Amino acid sequence: MPQSGRTQERLTKRSLVAISHAIERAALATAEDGPLVVLALFQRTPYFERERAIYERIAASAAVTVVAVVGPTPPELTAGAYGVVLDGAEELAREWSVVALTPRFGATLVAYDRGEVAPAATLEAGRLFDGHWGFRRDEALHQVIRLRARLAERLPEPARSRLDEVVARVRDIPAAPGESRAEAAIRMLADRGERVQRAVTQRAEPADGPAGLLDEPGLRRWTGEAGVTASGILRVALVGVRVDEPPGTPERFGRRSAAREAQAVLAAITGVLRPVDRAVRLADNEYLLMLPALDETGALEVAGRVHEAVGGLARSYPFVAFTVHAAVTVTDRRPLPLADVRHAVEWAAREGVPVATLAPEPTGAR
């Protein structure tokens, strides 16, 4: 992870979006403070596409604008903007950075993807990063020099020359003495906004029903299919579960008893979830558990706990012995490969396999 004199903070994606937008708005502001350079690392193209219009406006007035993503170069960049292709295996591929620099102004966000999540309204919003941010010119100068060195071989000569010209001018002018005061006020406002957003998210969470259970529209919102999301970023373990009751159970025990059993099965399945996990009921006897940032070993342990929890219901009258089949995979694909998991569960039930595992997916860019 890139080092600086700043203390590293634990940041969520929601925080990074707000800070990035603040830096981008500062870059767009009219000011007579010399040439502007902006460098931004977006991880994947879909994240840049959402902000493309802003960066086209920035490029129209900046001396040079650099946008870096994993995968194909962003197509049809406006004049003054330069696209850089990152390899999915290099360290910069996991970095989310936005840096703006002029001789009189600087703003910096540098964050490194942990591949982990915190509880949040959506899977994307809860992604966790280690990083730092601030509005100090000399820190921005340091980051421009660092990124220029890392990206130089992938930039054309005009972009390198313009970056060097701005860096030379910044070095000739001392930083403003009041930067720390302005930054303290900005941090206070950012902290207050984050607390308000957390409170709103907590109030929006349902007060009843099994913890972590989503309906299908809720699944689309949580996984990001209704907004911006990208493959190759956060790995999610998927556990498909099928619970079959013995033939004739409703007739033997009555419909009301069967309904109670169904609720007990649902509680047993959702009872294995962590606060960051989610589940969706795909059919009367079929469920999908989504476990962010969990590896295959951890997912298999969860599948084992589901077997134990549902099996334990047989010890409580009037419950009967259910048959449980499951399938496990770990993916960074978006949308999630739900059909693959459901087919694997069907195979496990047909073959009498307690837990099936899908072939591992390759890591890296897609």
The tens digit of pLDDT for each residue in 184-214 reads 877 777 777 666 666 555 554 544 456 689 9
Q: Which helix (H) or strand (E) holds 112?
A: strand 106-117
Question: Does the pLDDT at position 254 exceed 70?
Answer: no
> Given this model, what pLDDT does residue 250 score?
55
Give the integer Cα–Cα distance in Å for 111 and 130.
Answer: 5
Beta bridge partners of 356: 327
Angle in degrees, CA 125, 129, 134, rounded to 5: 100
pLDDT digits (tens, 9 = 90+) for 58-83: 999 999 999 999 987 776 788 889 99
Give the integer Cα–Cα distance in Å for 300 and 313.
Answer: 21
pLDDT digits (tens, 9 = 90+) for 321-350: 789 999 999 999 988 999 999 999 999 999
Summary mean pLDDT of the chain = 86
Give the integer Cα–Cα distance in Å for 170 and 344.
Answer: 59
> Given this model, what pLDDT does residue 151 score?
95
> Given this model, what pLDDT does residue 63 score?
94
Q: Are 300 and 143 in contact (CB under 8 A)?
A: no
Angle in degrees, CA 136, 137, 143, rounded to 5: 100
Better-predicted residue by pLDDT, 14 or 290: 290
> Given this model, what pLDDT does residue 73 score?
72
Name residue, tokens 């969990």. Answer: 294
> Given this model, what pLDDT does residue 30 score?
86
> Given this model, what pLDDT does residue 248 score?
58
Give the integer Cα–Cα distance in Å for 48 and 349.
Answer: 43
Question: Does the pLDDT at position 280 exceed 80?
Answer: yes
> Given this model, what pLDDT does residue 365 score?
40
> Given this model, what pLDDT does residue 183 score?
76
> HSE (CB half, 13 Å, CA atoms) of 172?
7
Better-predicted residue by pLDDT, 173 or 247: 173
> Given this model, what pLDDT does residue 366 score?
40
The reported pTM is 0.85
Average pLDDT over residues 93-116: 95
How far lies 123's CA from each of 44, 303, 329, in Å?
16, 21, 18
Give residue 329's Cα distance to chain centre: 19
Least confident of 34-43, 156-165, 239-248: 239-248
Question: Does the pLDDT at position 309 exceed 60?
Answer: yes
| Long-range CB contact pairs, 342-346, < 8 A, 24+ | 342/240, 342/282, 342/286, 342/288, 344/240, 345/240, 345/241, 345/242, 345/286, 346/242
> What percent of the chain has a predicted confidence (pLDDT) above 90?
60
pLDDT digits (tens, 9 = 90+) for 216-232: 888 888 988 656 678 88
Question: Does the pLDDT at position 1 exceed 60?
Answer: no
Residue 216 phi, psi dihedral angles, 5° rounding: -65, -40
Buried b (16+ CB within 10 A) or exposed e, 272-291: bbbebbbbbbbeebbbbbbb
| Of the candidates 89, 217, 82, 220, the residue with the CA atom closest to the CA atom of residue 153 | 82
Q: What is residue 72's three-state secondary structure?
A: coil
**Cβ neighbours of 255 (radius 10 Å):** 9
Question: Does the pLDDT at position 167 exceed 80?
Answer: yes
Q: Are 327 and 356 in contact (CB under 8 A)?
A: yes
Give the integer Cα–Cα distance in Å for 241 and 223.
Answer: 19
pLDDT digits (tens, 9 = 90+) for 134-161: 999 999 999 999 999 999 999 999 999 9
Name residue, tokens 């047993």. Answer: 268
For every residue of 144-205, DSSP letters joined together read HHHHHHHHGGGS-HHHHHHHHHHHHHHHTSPPPTTHHHHHHHHHHHHHHHHHHHHHHHHHHS
